[in-house]
Chain A
Amino acid sequence: MEKRRVVLTFPYQLIDQPITYHLIRDYNLVVNILRAKINPEEEGRLMVEISGDKKSLDEGMDYLKRLGVSIQPLVKDIRWLEEKCTHCTACLSICPTGALSVERKEMKVSFEKDKCIACGLCILACPYRAIEISF
């Protein structure tokens, strides 16, 4: 048995398809959804833990790739470096879970680790390298 934690990003045309069902039935995988965010008409994002034997896992991943789902390995740890943050808010509209948020009166940004699914998207959005990952 092997476990993989990944973030799956679905293009909007795939959102209403029973992909996890196929992973479970056709590839004999155990799919544990850790967090999900789906906006109709947009992208969907699932943070999942998938377990099964290596061969089924590889095949399952290939199936997802063929469908056009992008797969990012889940990073272990996201760190928000407060002293580097300029509170610009550039990361906010990218963060799918609201782990990065701003208090609108002070316009100060903060990071709630519990809400973070470690998708790493904010790293691309932050111009001041105030977010770091460790794998």
Chain B
Amino acid sequence: MAKTISEINEKIKKGEVIVVTAEEIIDIAEKEGIERAAKKVDVVTTATFGPMCSSGAYLNLGHSKPRIKLGGGKAYLNDVPVYTGLAAVDIYIGATALPEEDPRNKVYPGEFKYGGGHVIEDLVAGKDLKFTALSYATDCYPRKKLETWINIKDINEAVLFNPRNAYQNYNVAVNLSRKIIYTYMGVLQPHLGNAMYCSAGQLSPLLNDPYYKSIGVGTKIFLGGGVGYVVWNGTQHNPCVKRTKRGVPCAGAGSIAVIGDLKEMSPYWLKGTSITGYGVNLTVGIGIPIPILNEEILYYTTVKDEEIWAPIVDYSEDYPLGREKIIGEVNYAQLKKGKINFRGKEVSTASLSSYARAREIAEILKNWIKEGKFLLTEPVKQLPSTNSGIRLKNLKERNLD
């Protein structure tokens, strides 16, 4: 009964394709069994919407008259520094960049009101952004200073290019200390006052394809409201972690690098994010279609929240000191109830990643495919999987003298 991607694409073009979300497939497979469900369903859509720090966009601004060479100089978008180590008018704005005058954590906890993530959101929203640059003159690029407004519709390219997104599973953060702490996982109350998690669980892309059997380099995806592609494994891609019997990683594992035309995206799906006491970030909406090529691929998409376990990690001491210590395990069905029992205590839970928005993305992608607006692609290279032998390395510090 195996199907191919081109057969599925034919069905899409004819309007005969059957697409369901990664939530809906759970019931279908329960009622009809894996074999019948795999015959019936052609595509399962998965999604996630959460803060993803390793995100950013490169822009080509077009040449000024006279010309300026930004490469090697300094440049800012709305006072947020951008990376200029590229060609004359190419820049990269990273999600976590902060204005030089931002007080950061000097007034603790810092508010981090505006940074790279917000610049990207404003750019996508079509707002004018202040661009300022200082550089050195050359014979061919004589100008040393540039101050202007830029708008996404007037620049040559604006491309979202995120080196690490859509983490496959993640830590649940708690605070065992006596004082409140402000982390990238949110505000953590003392004495196990709360637990923060960040994954869409049963809807999350890589949790529905735990061994990367269909998601690979070249997979076409929903990215920030537009269309994008998986271009590589994400940084820190770590497939060889402990897994459950059905292959679900029990900790942060795989991740993907993604790319897409920022000009086609929307600020509703790319949100500047201010994490108190920590910094700025970009919250990204990603949706990935999984072609049901065979029963095995379908089986993996039927994963339920109660089958996905996340490690509980103390962010007051163990995480900051780099101790790889897991103090407990909890599944997403428990986390999504809003309370877990841990160490004899009822601990309230909350998420940084929005399940409601992830659902919305899975529905949108489903409709795009049903309406024939989105065809699937064949990956051109697989992501490294459990046989890759990858081991995540810590930095080895060496004496400089």
Contact = CB atoms under 8 A, between A and B. Distances in A.
Given A42-B193, A88-B353, A94 B187 contact: yes
Contacts of A43: 189-190, 193
A124 B275 CA distance: 8
B189 A125 contact: no
A91 B273 contact: no
A41 interface: yes
A12 B348 CA distance: 18
Given A93-B196, A127-B283, A88 B191 contact: no
A127 B354 contact: no
B276 A102 contact: no
B366 interface: no
Given A92-B348, A102-B338, A127 B194 contact: no
Nearest to A84: B271
B119 to A, nearest CB: 15
A86 B357 contact: yes
A127 B348 contact: no
A58 B277 CA distance: 31
Q: Is the interface on chain B under 10, 10 to 19, 20 to 34, or 35 or more residues? A: 35 or more
Contacts of A109: 356
Given A93-B195, A93-B348, A94-B194, A128 B283 contact: yes
Interface residues of A, number: 25
Contacts of B50: 88
A92 B351 CA distance: 9
A109 B357 CA distance: 11
Contacts of A104: 336-338
A86 B271 contact: yes
A108 interface: yes
Contacts of B337: 104
A41 to B, nearest CB: 6
B133 to A, nearest CB: 29
Contacts of A129: 113, 274
3 cross-chain pairs, A with B, having the tightest CB-CB distances, nearest first: A93-B194, A93-B350, A87-B356
Interface of A: 12, 41-43, 86-94, 102, 104, 106-109, 121, 124-125, 127-129
Given A93-B193, A127-B352, 5 more contacts: A42-B189, A86-B49, A87-B357, A89-B350, A90-B351
24 contacts: A41-B345, A42-B190, A42-B193, A86-B357, A87-B354, A87-B356, A87-B357, A88-B350, A89-B351, A89-B354, A90-B352, A93-B196, A93-B350, A94-B187, A94-B189, A104-B337, A107-B354, A109-B356, A124-B182, A125-B186, A127-B186, A127-B273, A128-B273, A128-B283
